[in-house]
Structure 1
Amino acid sequence: MTGDREFRRVRQHGSALRDPLLTLRVTDYRPRYGEAWRPRAIIGIVVPKKTLRRAVDRNRARRRVREALRTLPGGLPPCRAILMPNPAVLSAPFPDLQAALTRVLAQVPGRVKRRAGAPAAGTGRGGNPQAAGAVPAPMTPPTQEQP
């Protein structure tokens, strides 16, 4: 995320999801003004001086969380979020950090969980079937029957 305005919007309208290793404040994905609709995760990692005094520790916590997000097996849900790691992130094993992120991201509101055998997005009721990749049936002229 860039700019104080985006952080302020997430802080005001987001819901907080807590874990012993981190806190995630999350809102739904909305594109910036003039930006195309591409649902994706936009996450800002904030480590205040109150949490970790030394800059080395703040940077290390930021790098560990960024790498854990990058290597998550399930990917990230489309959202805007502020992630605030706790001091325990520095001493926690990396698989535990990934498990904590997976637990917290599973609670994100609006996350679409597809069941096995469920239709793909956009093929349900309503909407534009051409946008979902459906091909319309060709139009054939009516034939006249001869006696």
Structure 2
Amino acid sequence: MALDSLRGDREFRKVRAHGVAVRDPLFTLRITEYRPRHGETWRPRAIIGIVISKKTLKRAVDRNRARRRVREALRTLPGGLPPCRAILLPNPAVLTADFAQVQGALGRALARAPGRVKARGGNSGSVRPVPDPVTPDSSPAGGTP
């Protein structure tokens, strides 16, 4: 599957607002399901923006090297990329970790993509059964003796 980049502030804001954060010691991934851009035909693919701030890595050489390592790990991921939109925020540990570790961590994080995992615990949008309302006649504690 092709790896495209997020374009424009609007797309980044949408992923930040609606995405699910997946944290790892190597990076933070904010991921949401794939939806086509306005006026675009339905062509499921991974659209990922890689953001590394100067606060995270001071030197431009390190930021660029981290970006290249992460992009290559995503491109050569064994299971492929799920259709999604994501923002990837690498940590400085990406520079010292083995390439296989980076790929494994990215694979595990992307496996939790909203389009792939639906039966997850927690507040994943599942509907809980609503108890039947208690009528005054069937109340065991109150009522007439």
Tell me if both proteins adopt one fold, taking TM over 0.5 as the criterion.
Answer: yes
Are residues 1:50 and 2:55 paired? yes
- Identify which range, 75-84 or 104-113, moves more after superposition: 104-113
Matched-pair contact (CA < 8 Å) for 1:17–1:25: yes
Preserved CA contact (<8 Å) 1:40 1:77: yes
Contact 1:78/1:111, CA 8 A, preserved across alignment: no
Secondary structure, aligned partner of 1:72: coil
Q: Post-superposition shift, 1:73?
A: 0.7
Matched residue type, 1:49: K
Q: Which among 67, 77, 83 is matched to residue 82 of structure 2?
A: 77
CA deviation vs aligned residue, 1:6-26 (integer Å, no higher than 9, x gap):
001101111100111011101
**C-alpha distance in 2 between matches for 1:102 and 1:27:** 15
CA distances 1:9-51 after superposition (whole Å, capped 9, x unpaired): 1011111001110111011111011100011100000001111
Matched, 1:97 2:102: yes
Cα distance, 1:109 vs structure 2: 1.6
| Equivalent residue runs for 1:28-47 within 5 Å | 28-47=33-52
Whether the aligned pair in 1 keeps the contact of 2:111 and 2:117 (CA below 8 Å) is no
- Taking structure 1 as the reference length, the TM-score comes to 0.75
Structure 1: how far apart are the matches of 2:106 and 2:59? Answer: 24
Structure 2's unaligned 5+ residue stretches are 1-5, 119-145
SS in 1 for 2:62: helix
What SS does the corresponding residue of 2:56 show, helix, strand or coil? Answer: coil
Q: Which residue does the alignment assign to 1:88?
A: 93
The amino acid across from 1:16 in the alignment is A
Which aligned segments of 4 or more residues in structure 1 are displaced greater than 3 angstroms?
none
Q: Identity of counterpart residues, as a percentage? A: 78
In the alignment, structure 1 segments of 5+ residues that lack a partner are 114-147
The TM-score, its normalising length taken from structure 2, stands at: 0.76
RMSD between aligned residues: 1.2
